[in-house]
Amino acid sequence: MTATRTEVGECRQCRSFCDKMIEPRGCIELGCRFVYSYVDRLTGTQYVGCMQEVYGAEVELEAVQQPGGFGGVKMTGTPLPHCPFSVEQAYEGSGESYGCVNRRFFDCTEQGFEGLRAFDLRDL
C-alpha cells in the first residue's frame, strides 16, 4: 500500500479526496477575534487573515465583502470549534471506493485551548 501524505485540512482515505474550506466572510460575520486586517501602504488595499493560521491566505477585504463572497480558501491549520468550514470533494463517483470512511473529518476539533469536549458515555 502506498502512503499518501495529507495536511490538516484534507482527507485522502477514499477516492473522493476531500478538503476543508473556510470562507473568510463567515469569520468576519461571526466576529471571530482571530481575524486580523492590514492596509498595504503602497496600494491602499486592505487584506484580512487568520491569526491562528486556520487558513494561510490573506484575502482582499473588498473581494470578501462583494455580493456572493470571495468563496472558500483551503484550511491549512487546525480549526477552532467555532470556525465555519465546509467540506468539498475533488472527485465524485459511485461505488464502495468513493464512500466516506472518515466521518470525523466533517466534525470540528475538540483539541486546543478553545476545544469543546463532547459528552461521551464512555467516560462514565
Digit-coded pLDDT (tens) for 18-43: 889 999 999 999 999 999 999 999 99
| 84 located within any domain | yes
Note down the domain range covering 73.
10-110
pLDDT band per the 50, 70, 90 thresholds, residue 55: very high
pLDDT digit string (tens) for 77-121? 888 888 888 888 887 777 777 777 777 777 665 555 444 444 444
C-alpha cell at 9: 485540512
Residue 6 confidence (pLDDT): 58
Report the number of distinct structural domains present in the chain: 1
| 39 located within any domain | yes
Question: Who's near 111: CB < 8 A, 6+ residues apart?
Answer: 78
| 4 located within any domain | no
pLDDT at 124 over 50: no
| 116 located within any domain | no
| 124 located within any domain | no
Question: Does residue 35 sit in helix, strand or coil?
Answer: strand
Query: Of 124, 114, 121, 116, which Cα lies nearest the Cα of 52?
Result: 114
Query: Of 5, 6, 10, 4, which Cα lies nearest the Cα of 74?
Result: 10
The model's pTM is: 0.71
Between these two residues, 2 and 78, which has the higher pLDDT value? Answer: 78
Output DSSP code: residue 63.
H
Residue 110 confidence (pLDDT): 53
| Whether the Cβ atoms of residue 52 and residue 8 lie closer than 8 Å to each other | no
Question: Does residue 1 sit in helix, strand or coil?
Answer: coil
